[in-house]
Structure 1
Amino acid sequence: MTTDTPASAPYGTPETPRVAVRGEARLEFDPEIARIGVTVSARGTDRRTALDDLTRRNNDALNLIKSYQDAVEKLETGSFSINPELTRRGRGERVHAYHGRVHINAELTDFTALGELTTRLADLELTTVDGPWWTLRPDSPAHGEARRQAVREAVQRAREYAGALGANLAALVELADIGAENAAPYATRAPAYATRGFGGAPEAAAAAPALDLEPQRQTVYAQVNARFTMTPPTL
C-alpha cells in the first residue's frame, strides 16, 4: 500500500506553497488591413439584358480596384445571383424583371488610397460599397507582444503576492492560455464607415472627391493562467 507524499499535493505544501495568478494584457495598435465589400447590381426586363449589364458593371468595378495595384492585397468574388421577379397580377408565373448581383471583397494595405477608391467605387452605376472593416493580420507581431505582456503581468502579480507574505518565487509550475481548447481571436473589429452609391456614369467616377477615412485602432487582448511555487512565507 502506498500513500501520496506531501510533494504531490495539488495545491502545494507548507514547505513549497503554490500561488496561482492570471496575467492579462490589453494593447492598442494601428490597423494593418482595411476590408471593403462591393455589391454590383443590375435590373432588366429580360435575363440577357440583366446579365450583360451586370457583367459590364462587375468588370468596371474589378478593373477600378485592380488599377490600385500594390495597394490591394486581396481581391475575390464572394457570390453571384440572378433572380426573376414575378408579376403580382394575373394568372400564371410571368416574369416581370430580372435582378442580378455580384459581391466583391477587397483588402487594402494602403489607407491613403482607400478613401479615393471607396468614393470612386460608390460613384459607379448601381454599386454599393460597405466598410471599411479595420483589422490586424493573423500573424501580426501585435499578438505576440500582447501575449508577452500578459506573461510579464502574471509574473509581476505572483511576485507581489509572494512578497506580501515575506516569500520569494521559486519555480514556474504551469503556464497556460485561458480556454486554450476554445480559443477566441485576439483582435476584434467593427465596421467603421459605410458609403453607398446609386446611379452615376463610370466616366465621371474619377472626378469624385476622396473620402478622408481615419483608421480605427485595434485592441488586442491576451490572458494566461500561471502557477508558481514560492519559498515558505514569513507569517
Structure 2
Amino acid sequence: MYYAPPSTGTIAVTGQGTLRVNPDTVIITIGIRTEHTSALEALTENATRANAMLKALREIGVAHEDIETSSFSIYPKYTYTNQTPILAGYEVEHMFDMTVKDVKKVGMMYETAVANGANIARQLQFKLANEQPYYQQALALAVKNAQEKARVLARTLQLPLHDVPIEIKENHPSPLLPRAMVLADGAAPPIQAQEVVISAIVHVIFSY
C-alpha cells in the first residue's frame, strides 16, 4: 500500500476580529489653571477654585473615590526683552481624573465643573468596566477570519488544507488615544457616547 509523504507546506495568514460596544464608563480629565505674578497667589487661587469644583461635583452625586489627582504642576512664566528672559509670573495647573459610571451624566459633570472653576480638559475616554468578555469574542472572530482566509487561499491553489492550525500567535493592538479638548468658560460640551472598538489580531499558520 502506498502512503503519501507527510505534508510540509504551510500557509500563514493574519486574522482580525472587531466588535463595537456601547461604553458603560467614561474617564474625563478636568482641571484648574491659574496664573499670577506671585507663585503663592496662583497656588491659593487654584486651591480655592479646585475645592469649589470638587464640592459642587460631590453635591451632584460624584463619589469621592471616583475623583483623583492626575497631575499637579507649578511653572514659571517668562517674557523676553532683547532675548533676555524676565520672570513674569507663575502658572499653576491641577488636573483631576474622574470616573463616570453613567455616561448620561458626563455633560452635567462638565457643566458643573466649568461653573465652579474648571477651565481646562485634557482627555475624554469611553471605556468598558470589563472589557475581557468582549475581547474574547473579538479573538474568536479573528481566528475564524484567519481560517476563512486560509481556506480561500487553499481552494484557489487546490491545496488540501488542514483546518486545525499548527501555530497561533496573538497580537495585541495598540489602544486608541483619547480625545483632547479645552473648556470655555460657561460652556459645557454636548457629549455623545462613542462606541468602544474592541479588536483582536492573530497570526496563524496552517499546514497542507
Which residues of 2 match residues 154-165 of structure 1 at below 5 A?
154-164=146-156, 165=158
Correspondent of 1:177 among 170, 179, 182: 170
C-alpha deviation, 1:149, in angstroms: 0.3
Which moved further from structure 2: 18-27 or 102-111?
Answer: 18-27
Residue 184 of structure 2 is matched in structure 1 by 197
The letter for the 2-side match of 1:227 is I
Residue 200 of structure 2 is matched in structure 1 by 222
The answer on whether the counterparts of 2:17 and 2:201 sit within 8 Å (CA) in structure 1 is yes
The answer on whether the counterparts of 1:116 and 1:211 sit within 8 Å (CA) in structure 2 is no
Deviations along 1:170-211, one digit per CA (max 9) or x if unpaired, are 643111124xxxx443x42441x735134x7xxxxxxx8x65
Which residues of 2 match residues 52-67 of structure 1 at below 5 A?
52-67=44-59
| Residues 217 and 189 of structure 1, relative CA distance in 2, 3 Å threshold | farther
- In structure 1, the gaps of 5 or more residues are 1-5, 201-207, 231-235
How many angstroms apart in 1 are the aligned matches of 2:41 and 2:74?
Answer: 11
| Residues 96 and 189 of structure 1, relative CA distance in 2, 3 Å threshold | closer
The answer on whether the counterparts of 1:42 and 1:126 sit within 8 Å (CA) in structure 2 is no
Which residues of 2 match residues 18-37 of structure 1 at below 5 A?
18-37=10-29
| Residues 175 and 190 of structure 1, relative CA distance in 2, 3 Å threshold | same
Which moved further from structure 2: 68-77 or 136-145?
Answer: 68-77
How many angstroms apart in 1 are the aligned matches of 2:71 and 2:109?
Answer: 21
TM-score of the aligned structures, taking structure 1 as reference length: 0.67
How many angstroms apart in 2 are the aligned matches of 1:95 and 1:225?
Answer: 57
RMSD: 3.4
C-alpha deviation, 1:72, in angstroms: 8.2
C-alpha deviation, 1:117, in angstroms: 0.6
TM-score of the aligned structures, taking structure 2 as reference length: 0.74
C-alpha deviation, 1:68, in angstroms: 4.8
Aligned length: 200
- In structure 2, the gaps of 5 or more residues are none
Which moved further from structure 2: 162-171 or 46-55?
Answer: 162-171
How many angstroms apart in 2 are the aligned matches of 1:41 and 1:101?
Answer: 4
C-alpha deviation, 1:113, in angstroms: 0.8
SS of equivalent residue, structure 1 residue 172: coil
C-alpha deviation, 1:144, in angstroms: 1.4
The answer on whether the counterparts of 1:124 and 1:197 sit within 8 Å (CA) in structure 2 is no
How many angstroms apart in 2 are the aligned matches of 1:19 and 1:138?
Answer: 35
How many angstroms apart in 2 are the aligned matches of 1:53 and 1:196?
Answer: 18
The answer on whether the counterparts of 1:169 and 1:228 sit within 8 Å (CA) in structure 2 is yes
Which moved further from structure 2: 144-153 or 28-37?
Answer: 28-37
Residue 188 of structure 1 is matched in structure 2 by 176
| Residues 134 and 71 of structure 1, relative CA distance in 2, 3 Å threshold | farther
User: Is 1:213 the equivalent of 2:191?
Assistant: yes
How many angstroms apart in 2 are the aligned matches of 1:94 and 1:225?
Answer: 58
Which residues of 2 match residues 109-124 of structure 1 at below 5 A?
109-124=101-116
The letter for the 1-side match of 2:49 is R
